[in-house]
Amino acid sequence: MLLVNWRDTGHPEGGGSERYVERMAEGLAKAGYRVEIQCAAYAGAAAGEWRDGVRYRRRGNKFGVYAHALRAIRRARADLVVDVQNGMPFFARLVAGCPVLVLVHHVHKEQWISALGETLGRIGWWIESWLAPRLFRKCRYVTVSEVTKVELAGLGVDRERVTVVPNGLDAPPPCTSGRDPEPTLVAVSRLVPHKRIEHAIDVVARLAGRWPSLRLEVVGQGPWDEVLRAHAAERGVADRVVLHGWVDEQAKHEILARSWVHLCPSVKEGWGIVIMEAAAHGVPSVAYRAAGGVAESIVEGRTGLLAEDFEDFTARVDDLLADAPRRTEMGLAGAERAGLYSWNASAAQFESLVRATSGRPAPRPRVLTPHRAEQRPVMS
């Protein structure tokens, strides 16, 4: 199995979509498949390595990765190629000598121009919305939410060719943090423009007069870090906003465990893994209804709230801060629902789809110990 993806989780801009790809790859490896991931290189990363039974090959930069991926697809003796379409596909069908499965987390219509500018953005959206559906018109698709399945149908992808395999969830580690006595908001995200963490900062600025001790903790790294620090200073809330940058998993969960409300002001999400991570700690989320898969990861009025615009977003955060019984009720419902999701279950669904798409029988499962996974020779 060959998966071609823009980044891996170690990349400075890696996030939830990369975690999904890697968990599915690891599940396939445990099931007995030989699995490779071809992705972009970045500073400090080896050109090739084995991790958890999966071989990683890193070649090219943000744009050069596509040419290297096409070369890898053409040379691979794979039974199936998974073309991970994060807006831009890898055009695997043009050179693959085997079936191609297209993985789409969400449709990027709103993001193209903000990321690449007017001209390149329009070209990117044309490729995603018109060219790709026609190129892959005979291929099966997999996505993480029913919302994205509907969006793909709007681009001309037949519904019967799209399978939903949701994101999984790790059980949260034991935490020493209790709920903070002072109102605490949290946002866990890559720091890039389309995540709109500025909106979370603006919420703090709007509510500062009503909540004198309100603060926001932002977890994550990315090129927008300095922009956000400047924005907090400009809004007069630099002393209320903590930008932690990258933290390890334990620290992330400690921050979630002490927070009151999680904010997800992103333009678009395929699902929003962190929404479920927050829910596992009994923390309800507020997001924008139009942001795609968040309308599934949040059960409106039960595990969190969905807003129509920024004014509504601010009002809903204010309502949750003021209503402790409602926060508690939502937190309990969210934790119960989070317990229904696991990476093992999602990986099993993904493997079943891979088997059906490739037309090959399932291999013999194998046990991958950390020693075996880490000590295999590095291939470049």
pTM for this model (two decimals): 0.88
| Class of the domain covering 184-338 | alpha beta
What is the three-class DSSP state of 129? helix
Q: How far apart are the first and last CA of the chain?
A: 17
Beta bridge partners, 262, equal: 186, 285
User: CB atoms < 10 A from the CB of 66, how many?
Assistant: 17
Report the CATH fold assignment for 2-168+342-374. Answer: Rossmann fold (3.40.50)
Q: Quick one: pLDDT at residue 38?
A: 98
Query: pLDDT band at residue 277, thresholds of 50, 70 and 90?
Result: very high
Domain residue spans of the chain: 2-168+342-374, 184-338
Q: 290-342 pLDDT, tens per residue?
A: 998 999 999 999 999 999 999 999 999 999 999 999 999 999 999 999 999 99
Q: Quick one: pLDDT at residue 349?
A: 98
Judge whether residue 148 has pLDDT over 70.
yes
What is the DSSP secondary structure assignment for residue 300, as one 8-state letter? Answer: B
Judge whether residue 379 has pLDDT over 60.
no
Q: 83-130 pLDDT, tens per residue?
A: 999 999 999 999 999 999 999 999 988 788 877 888 999 999 999 999
Judge whether residue 282 has pLDDT over 60.
yes
Say how far apart CA 47 and CA 8 lie, in whole Å.
12
Query: 74, 77, 87: which is closest to 5 by C-alpha?
Result: 87
Residue 50: which H helix or E strand, with range? strand 48-51
Say how far apart CA 327 and CA 333 lie, in whole Å.
10
Q: What sign does the dihedral 164-165-167-169 (CA atoms) show?
A: positive
Say how far apart CA 205 and CA 380 lie, in whole Å.
50
Judge whether residue 371 has pLDDT over 60.
no
Q: 16-72 pLDDT, tens per residue?
A: 899 999 999 999 999 999 999 999 999 999 999 999 999 999 999 988 999 999 999
Which residues, at least 6 apart from 362, have a Cβ–Cβ distance to it below 8 Å? Answer: 31, 32, 351, 355
Query: pLDDT band at residue 372, thresholds of 50, 70 and 90?
Result: very low
Q: Quick one: pLDDT at residue 362?
A: 83
Q: 190-242 pLDDT, tens per residue?
A: 999 999 999 999 999 999 999 999 999 999 999 999 999 999 999 999 999 99
Query: pLDDT band at residue 367, thresholds of 50, 70 and 90?
Result: low
| CB distance 265 to 242 below 8 Å | no
